[in-house]
Amino acid sequence: MSVRKLKPITPGQRFRVVNGFDAITTDKPEKSLLAPKKRSGGRNSQGKMTMRYKGGGHKRRYRIIDFKRDKQGIPATVATIEYDPNRTAFIALLNYQDGEKRYVIAQNGLQVGQNVVSGSNVAPEIGNAMPLSDIPLGTIISCIELRPGQGAVMARSAGSFAQLMARDGKFATVKLPSGEVRMILVNCMATIGAISNSDHQLIVGGKAGRTRWLGRRPRTRPVAMNPVDHPMGGGEGRSSGGHPRSRKGLPAKGFRTRSKTKASNKYIVERRKK
């Protein structure tokens, strides 16, 4: 994987850094795994704006991703590595031996023609999905379930990965991408390897329009607002007094908002770093 810096032939391309897309093998998605994707523009069913700074953007079709990896014991061949406009990671098209096709999140180093399989008692190789009870300690993993059969919810974005630290009884201790160390049931599934497209963080849009293509509208700084709109608004000139706060008045930038009585607190061994 690599990134390319474009020649400054226009003002918008002067600072532009784009993905090299070396890993991508096709630009035609599998039609049977596409679904329509409606855009809300941040409006609810009454047409009222409930989420600011959303709207516009390029039209997309959703790629149906297999997050559960519940087709166990049946080997599959990686047919293509593809770009997905709905996520930062690349996706891989799997052709199962029984003829079914499914998309999965592609791991770093996954190659076309490679065989992958999910289930217990499979080799801990890149792209294979297995329960935490069968994965060797210290292994780099991604696409982790939080509840058995729920489907992957953690470590799914480009370049992210977690590490299996220990096992004790029915719980495994996993270090998550945020730095949090957490206990997860050993019968939850995870995939071996880090997520693909780790160079995503190096990409530079180069112009405001590229952010608009992604469906994000310009964001107004709270300091530039009036007091009626935001706790940080108002004041003569460029006044910057007061503590950073959210629009509802809650302290921001470091203030911890997680409930102290949350039921899942007992599974967190170590909180993420500030």
Instruction: Write out the E strands in 97-188.
Output: 101-105, 115-116, 129-131, 140-142, 162-168, 171-175, 181-185
What fold, for 220-274? Ribosomal protein L2; domain 3 (4.10.950)
Residue 239 CB contacts under 8 Å (≥ 6 apart), including other chains = none
Residue 18 CB contacts under 8 Å (≥ 6 apart), including other chains = 3, 4, 6, 203
pLDDT of residue 242: 79
Alpha-carbon gap, residue 90 to 248, rounded angstroms: 37
Domain limits, the chain: 24-41+56-196, 220-274
pLDDT of residue 1: 64
Alpha-carbon gap, residue 219 to 212, rounded angstroms: 11
pLDDT of residue 254: 87
- Predicted TM-score (pTM) of the model is 0.93
36-45 contacts at long range (C-beta below 8 A, 24 or more positions apart):
36/61, 36/62, 37/61, 37/62, 37/86, 39/215
pLDDT of residue 239: 80
Give Dmax over CA atoms of the chain in angstroms: 70
Residue 181 φ/ψ, nearest 5 degrees: -105, 125
pLDDT of residue 212: 97
Q: What is the dihedral of CA 256, 261, 267, 271, to 10 degrees?
A: 20
Architecture of domain 24-41+56-196: Roll (2.30)
Residues of the chain with pLDDT under 70: 1, 241, 274
